[in-house]
Structure 1
Amino acid sequence: MRIITFGTFDVFHAGHVNILERAKLHGSHLIVGVSSDELNMSKKQRYPIYSQEDRLHIIRSLRCVDEVFIEESLELKAEYIKYYNADILVMGDDWAGKFDHLSNICQVIYLPRTPSVSTTEIIEIVKTKRY
């Protein structure tokens, strides 16, 4: 079974590792779409801390990941699923229900996020930290 998932994976943390490792348990080949810098800007009105090249390098280095590509658009998820011949789309449960419309081309699974771990919260803590 071929699994596909997507994310920005900025300020990489244990929650990212957890979801990728759990996604891989659903099949034998894990494909990860990493949001482009421009896509992140359009979604969150900020560029990632780490460049897309660095984020690709980090994700590619994980032993649970078999294939990595740049996700250019949220609207192309169905095309990415078809192109990579994915059987299952895995996303964090913060996206629950948002990709159910893709269940006609693959199984859609939402996995629970790691509690108390958030890239946004980490960035806010670092920004407000006084030394």
Structure 2
Amino acid sequence: MKTVITYGTFDLLHVGHIRLLKRARSLGDKLIVGLSTDAFNAKKGKNAIFSYDARREILMALRLVDDVFAEEDWEQKRRDIRQHNAQILAMGDDWAGKFDELSDITEVVYLPRTEAVSTTEIKTVISKITEEKLQTLDRAIEHIAKISKELR
């Protein structure tokens, strides 16, 4: 049985995440995911929308994923690979070269990312929608205030 290990935050699960997990799973018989904890994301300067527990529950519901464990720091990968007897470390190609030092204990594979989709872009779109709605509300309030003054 060939075990594949990968890591990520997997916030706002989207098609890019699913495709990465599919590609990783296709490399072996078992896929395990090191899921960044909320505290580790904070250290990385990331702010996940969903909590670690919610993101873990979502990943565990996917038939692609066999197990999920907590990723709490950058240094644990070597220990995790050994502990889970992972024959392959699969990461998105945005990490190309970053984990090559682990090739002495496992095969390191960098998988292509899905173009034109990312959690950061999704969060940006959501925030713009919110900003636009706030601006629309501000204009409406100003308009109502103007009408109210005219009626006095």
Which TM-score applies when normalising by structure 2?
Answer: 0.84
| Shift, 1:88, TM fit | 0.2
Q: Which has the larger radius of gyration?
A: 2
Say which structure, 1 or 2, has more relative contact order (CA 8 Å, 6+ apart). Answer: 1
Task: Note the 1:83-102 alignment, pairs <5 A.
Answer: 83-102=83-102
| Helix, strand or coil at the partner of 2:7 | strand
List runs of 5+ in structure 1 lacking aligned partners: none
Give the C-alpha shift of residue 47 in structure 1. 2.6
Shift of 1:46: 3.7
> What residue number does 1:41 align with?
42
Contact map agreement 1:38 1:47 (CA 8 A) in 2: no
4+ runs deviating over 4 angstroms: none
Identical residues among aligned pairs (%): 50
Provide the C-alpha distance between the structure 2 equivalents of 1:100 and 1:85, rounded to a whole number of angstroms: 18
Q: Number of aligned pairs?
A: 130
Q: What is the match of residue 24 of structure 2?
A: 23
TM-score by length of 1: 0.97
Cα RMSD (Å) of the superposition? Answer: 0.8
Aligned-partner SS, 2:115: coil
SS of equivalent to 2:86: coil
